[in-house]
Every structure is written in structure tokens, then in C-alpha cells.
Amino acid sequence: MSDQPADDSDPILNIFDPSVAANPQPLWRRLAKELPVGQPVPGMTCISSYEHVMYALRHPEIFSSEMPQGMIGNARPLIPLQIDPPRQIRYRKLLDPLFSNKRVSALEPGFRKLAADLIDRFVDDGECEFNRDFAIPYPCTVFLELMGLPQEDLAHFLEIKNAIIRPQGETVEEVDKVRDDAAAKIYAYFNDFLDMREKNPRDDLMTRIIQTEVGGERLTREEVLDVSYLFIIAGLDTVTATLGCAVAYLAQNSEQRQLLIDEPELLESAVEELLRWETPVPQIVRMAKEDIELGGFPIKAGDMVTLVLGAANLDDALMPNANVVDFRRKPNRHITFGGGNHRCLGSHLARQELMIAIEELHRRIPDYRLKPGESPRYSPAIREVQYLPLVFGKDHAAK
């Protein structure tokens, strides 16, 4: 159990303030306790308590996932993320079996070999920049292999993904243009790739998406493009972010890391706790479809509402001592993967990747820490450790 509980005295309430990116838990705690529903900054309505976040997730007829187009450059709704029930059910019936626990578990040997091969590249150096050397290539290589996409195109995909999720520009117009240009590249790439796959099917996820039928119907070309758009954004970002945040936490909390070394059977519950504590996608957006009062706060039809998953995960109404990291915590009802109809499609895949990565890292390098004089560099909003310098020394690296 961590001896560093969240400090509830932090006065900042802006979830997008860069100054809280490295340590957002105090802010999340305050939001859940003091502002379960409301506007922490003018014009931004947030739902932060576990009770009210779960209500919103379980009532898509009130809090819709069908966002205005173009928010992340997309020309049409992302499938199945931005489709509400009952239409969404058709897509989940098609896609859920492709990411089932059984199917993902069968991939473990390949995941483990990849993790070991990446560690081999830096284990004798005594140090690494974990984001560049492992957190990016490990899940991205896995994803491209599953999809059947060329590994040599990874740099191109990462450039596009970053331009959509974290576009750079001096003005709103410049930011929008960067995002729109990147979106056009995604559609063009996958349009060409689907032409090739339809002529030359392979044993990969793209071929299965093209060929699988639900109710005797296959997806249209536009529908496959909209699934692909979502997959390239989610598949190349969220596991990298989760893994980087988890290892940054372990590197700075040696007693927690040592607990996993001494009691490796805690790995599964530790991964769940790190998912809860770090919540790498800490907020998601919904649009109110009708006037409603939630937690005493009025929300109008058409309002954009932010569900702060990070705050709900640290709400004492969710579980006792929610402000403490406890690797022995069971059960762990965190909502890092969302809830209701839109629960994360790739949750089994993410868990498998995380457990194997941490297990292999601790098997080969059980004693790692931050490089002296250096600090992790986090990005706000969608949490990610953009820079994570670790040292371990040759005398600590296990063979």
C-alpha cells in the first residue's frame, strides 16, 4: 500500500491546466468530493463523482456519444465510439469477438517475445528513455501486426496520430488545419490499403473486419474506414500512455515496485490499481440530448459535458481508501475503460499488453529508478509520459 496518498488540499480545479499534469490525483479527488456536477471553470460542465459519471455512462439516450463531426478531424462518426444504441449494437456484435479475452490470450507468446527483444536493446546500457525505447514501440508493433499494417509505416502513423490528438498551431485555424490534413491522410491511406486487402486477404484484423458479417451483411467501405480511423488513434496512443504512466509511478515508488518483485502473484491486481490511479484517458465527452438536472446542476439539451473518469476513479463512493494505491485491492471496480454500452472494445488487449510488459521488465530489470537530476515530462488532458529517463546499472540488470 502506497505511503503517498493524494493531497486533497490542491486548490487548482482546471483539469486542463498543464501544471497538474504530473500529479492530477489531488485535483480529481477535489472534483469528486466538492463538485460532483458543475463548472470548475466557466463554460465547461463536468460530471466528476462516481455516482453521476456512471449514470451518464449508462444512459446514452440522455448523454449521447454522437458528437458533432470534425472534433478530431473525422468526416463521419467514429465506429463504434460515436454511435449510440441501438445502432451501436450491430457494430459491437461484429467487433467484440475480434478482441475477446480468449483471442487475446492466444497472442501472449508473441507479446512476450517482443517485450524481451525490446529490453535486449537497452538492458546492457544501464539506462533508457522508456517512452522512446519501449512504451511506444511495444504496443504500436503489437497493434500494427494485429491489424496487418506494415511495420515500416509506424513513423507515418505516429505523426498522423499526434497531429490529430495533440495538434500544434498558433491559432485555432492553424490547429484545425493540422488536424484536418492528418485526418485526410488517414482516410486516403486506409482507402488504398482496403483496396489491396480486398484483392489479397490475409490472416489479420483488417481482413476479418472486411469479411465478417452480422445479420448477413458486411460493413460498407465508409464504415470500415470509420472503424479504421478510431483504431489508429486508440491503438497507437492509449496503451503507450498507460504503460508510461505505470512505469513512471513504479520508478518513483520503490516500495511498490519491490512489492511486485517479492510477490509477483500481485501483478494482475497491481495492473488494475495502476489503471485506476493513473487513468490515462481521464475525461471523455458526451452531449446532452435533453434538459436534465443532475446532482442539483442544470444541464441543457445540446450542452457538451465532460465526464471526468479520473475523478470518479478516486471517489470514496467507488471504494474505501480510494486516495491510496493498494496493489492488493480486490475487487477493483475502476472505470478506466468506461462503462455501459461504450465500455472499451480493446480492454482485454490492453490488460494483456500491460501485464506482460511489466512482468518482463521486472524479470530483466528489477531495480530501476529515475535518472538523477531528471523528471518525467507529462502531457495534460490525455495523460502521457512524453519523456521518462530511467537508470538501472549493469549490476542491477538480471539475465
CA dihedral 25, 31, 32, 34 (to 10 degrees): 130
Q: How many C-alpha atoms does 163 have within 13 Å on its Cβ side? A: 20
Burial label, 38 (beta-carbon count in 10 A; 0-12, 13-18, 19+): middle
Spatial contact of 1 and 270, defined as CB atoms under 8 Å apart: no
The pLDDT tens digits of the residues spanning 269-318 come to 999 999 999 999 999 999 999 999 999 999 999 999 999 999 999 999 99
Q: Rounded to an integer, what distance in angstroms lies between the CA atom of residue 351 and that of residue 332?
A: 14
Three cell numbers, residue 72:
478530431
pLDDT at 348 over 70: yes
Q: Rounded to an integer, what distance in angstroms lies between the CA atom of residue 212 and that of residue 219?
A: 8
Q: Rounded to an integer, what distance in angstroms lies between the CA atom of residue 296 and that of residue 210?
A: 47
Pairing outcome for strands 127-129 and 389-391:
antiparallel
The pLDDT tens digits of the residues spanning 153-205 come to 999 999 999 999 888 899 999 999 999 999 999 999 999 999 999 999 999 99
Q: Higher confidence at residue 215 or residue 142?
A: 142
Spatial contact of 84 and 61, defined as CB atoms under 8 Å apart: yes
Among residues 174, 177, 228, which one has the least CA distance to residue 73?
Answer: 177
Spatial contact of 191 and 197, defined as CB atoms under 8 Å apart: no
Tell me what the pLDDT averaged over the chain comes to: 91
Output Rg (C-alpha) for the chain, integer angstroms. Answer: 21
- For residue 393, what pLDDT band results from cuts at 50, 70 and 90? confident
Domain 71-282+330-391 fold is Cytochrome p450 (1.10.630)
From residue 84, how far is each of 45, 59, 64, 287 by CA, in Å? 21, 10, 7, 11
Amino acid at 20: V
Name the phi and psi angles at 336, rounded to 5: -60, -35
- 266 CB neighbour count, 10 Å cutoff: 16
Q: Give the three-state DSSP class for 303.
A: coil
The residues spanned by each domain of the chain are: 71-282+330-391
Three cell numbers, residue 40:
470548475
pLDDT at 3 over 70: no
- For residue 72, what pLDDT band results from cuts at 50, 70 and 90? confident
Three cell numbers, residue 215:
445479420
pTM above 0.85? yes
